[in-house]
Structure 1
Amino acid sequence: MTRVVLIHGIGQHLKGPQTITETWFPALNDGLTVSGASTLPRHDVSVAFYGDLFRRPGHRGVGEPPLDASDVELGLEYELLLSWWQAAADAEAQVPGPEAPARLRTPRIVQRALNALSHSAFFTGLAESVMIGSARQVRRYFTEPEVRRAAGERLSRAVTSETTTIVAHSLGSVVAYETLCAHPQWHDLTLITLGAPLAVRGLVFDRLHPPPQGETARWPVPLKRWINIADHGDVVALVKELAPSFGSRIQDLTVNNGAHAHDVRPYLTARETGLVLAETLA
């Protein structure tokens, strides 16, 4: 019996469903505990895993081939990195903004963005390849139909007649939204989105399936309730409130995730998330 289905975001391509569960499940139950609710047994939770769709095939070298600023593709990858850079600079004093003068050794705008993001809470300690790879996964989802279709199929297989709630993080919120819209025969589901980039105009919102009509996207038929939770410092969730873009029925909440604004674990351990989940399971 799967009452709660979890779907992850970017950067999980070297993991698997059991690895994701090891991280998400205790954090989810911690959120329920701090909210005063009963915890869930392991068999009530499953993971819709699609990270392997982005995993590179084997090669003769050691590790993954490195990516640098010259590998960033113009268009969505480029625009995402610049958007994350601006958001990180707005939220964190230690991150130099795009208006800061470029040093001579980093004249390229992409290199400046990568250098700045390396000082942000979300990307600190990560190699350039990882930052570029994160933007690339978003680009591949929207531009490679087979990846998009396969990700949705993973979620649709995880949802059963016993499922009441889908918890989606980051890019997983896009997969969840599009899959829910594609399955109008499902009913009485609750969607909890964490750090969702769904309402980012020009990068995500305008690329959704089904396409938004004007300023508003379609409400997924299977949903009886949608709660969106965001940290003000989350640079991936550039637009924190989804209600203006997806309808007033959405309940937008804010949490404080500390230094790791986009990390799924503090999202799940937050009392606000625990309360919402407890209500959907009651």
Structure 2
Amino acid sequence: MTRFLGVHGIGNHRPGLEPDAAAENLAQRWEKALRRGLPEEAVIDMRVAYYAHHLARGIAQGPESLDAQEQQLLLDWARHLGAPEDVAQGRLTAPARRAADWIARKFGLDSGLVRIMVSVFCREVRTYFEDTARRSAARDEVANRIAEHRPNVVIAHSLGSVLAYEALWSRQESTVDMLITLGSPLGLPDVIFEKLEPLPDKGKGRRPPNVERWINIADPGDIVAIPRGLASRFDGIAADLETSINVFDFHKVSNYLACSTTSAAVAGFSQTDT
């Protein structure tokens, strides 16, 4: 049996469920998606490290609901996506909304959905990096699940890749055979990269020493996975892979889990029942 541990991304707070129940709910969804690309007889044990309750700080309804620091994160993010100077520098009226709408136009996406997505991302990222107690609680949650489940493979999506990276560095006695990051913003300058623990050294992060192999997978249209490839920012990545998972649902974890690129990455670990 192969043990998998998922680390979820943004927008996964389940306020109506206890944390253990939320983790189980997510694990069922992740296993269902992952199995779509695996042999029917694959024997796996899928768990998910649920940390969203530690970062919950109200629902971000749109760019206008973000505070000044969160809006600045959005402007920095837009700049690294190629936004023109007047947008990236916030010179226009309602700068955060203008930045979100520019992202939507740039990638041909629904502006309403993009406004919600970028607002949730900026709020959770800001909370994680600016609130020391919440950051420690969320990171420890992931580190504890890794220590308890002892997974062969950790699959970390979106903001979850940041928590998995820091959790693995913080508990180097917990070894894993493979880390797979999906739609990861780990290398996003100004917003995430320079704030990581441990801090990048001379502009480079490193594969955690307790990880045998690290594979990064990103959809070329994923607005969260900036820069698309992580090898330019992190030493020790075995493969930086691009795969088109969906034109509109480019960041959805179920699409990443079910895609052939992820299936191929875990093929050597998804043992079958003989």
**1:23 Cα offset (Å):** 2.3
Change (3 A) 1:123 1:28: farther
Task: Report whether the alignment pairs 1:167 with 2:155.
Answer: yes
The corresponding residue for 2:185 is 197
**8 Å Cα contact 2:7-2:155 kept in structure 1:** yes
Deviation, structure 1 residue 188: 4.3
- What is the CA–CA distance in structure 1 between the aligned matches of 2:85 and 2:164, rounded to whole Å? 36
CA RMSD of aligned residues (A): 2.8
Partner Cα distance (2:185, 2:79) in 1: 15
Secondary structure of the structure 1 residue equivalent to 2:113: coil
How far residue 118 of structure 1 moved from its aligned partner, in angstroms, is 5.2
Q: Are the structure 2 counterparts of residues 49 and 116 from structure 1 closer, same or farther at C-alpha, using a change threshold of 3 Å?
A: same
Paired AA for residue 214 in structure 1: K
CA offset digits 1:214-263 (Å, max 9, x no partner):
12113311111000001111100111111122114431111101221111
TM-score (ref. length: structure 2) = 0.82
- Displacement, 1:51? 1.1
What is residue 53 of structure 1 aligned with on the other side? Answer: 54
2:99 matched to which residue of 1? Answer: 113
1:72 maps to which of 61, 66, 69: 66
TM-aligned CA distance change 1:255 to 1:184, over 3 Å: same
Are 1:14 and 2:1 an aligned pair?
Answer: no
Give the deviation of 1:185 after TM superposition.
1.3
In the TM superposition, residue 83 of structure 1 has moved relative to its aligned partner by 4.7
Amino acid at match of 2:66: V
Q: 1:128 to 1:244 in 2, by over 3 A?
A: closer
Shift of 1:134: 2.4
Report the TM-score, using the length of structure 1 for normalisation. 0.80
Question: Residues 140-159 of structure 1: matches in 2 within 5 Å?
Answer: 140-159=127-146
CA contact 1:190–1:280 (8 Å) conserved in 2: no
Q: Would the aligned equivalents of 1:98 and 1:113 in 2 still touch at CA under 8 Å?
A: no
1:157 aligned partner, one-letter code: N
Separation in 2, partners of 1:17, 1:263: 18
Hey, what does 1:81 align to over in structure 2? Answer: 74
Does residue 246 of structure 1 match 2:229? no
Specify the SS of the correspondent of 1:157: helix
Further displaced range: 224-233 or 2-11: 2-11
Task: Rate the CA distance shift 1:111–1:251 in 2: closer, same or farther, 3 A.
Answer: same
Q: Which residue of 2 aligns with 1:93?
A: none
Aligned partner of 2:151: which letter? Answer: T
Q: Which one-letter code corresponds to 1:208 in the other structure?
A: L
Once residues 198 and 94 of structure 2 are traced to their aligned partners in structure 1, the CA distance between those partners, rounded to angstroms, is 36
SS of the residue aligned with 1:148? Answer: helix
What percent of counterpart residues are identical?
32
Letter in 1 for 2:160: G
Letter in 2 for 1:270: C
Determine which of 19, 26, 30 is the counterpart of 1:24: 30
Secondary structure at the counterpart of residue 240 of structure 2: strand
Distance 2:233 2:100 in 1: 30
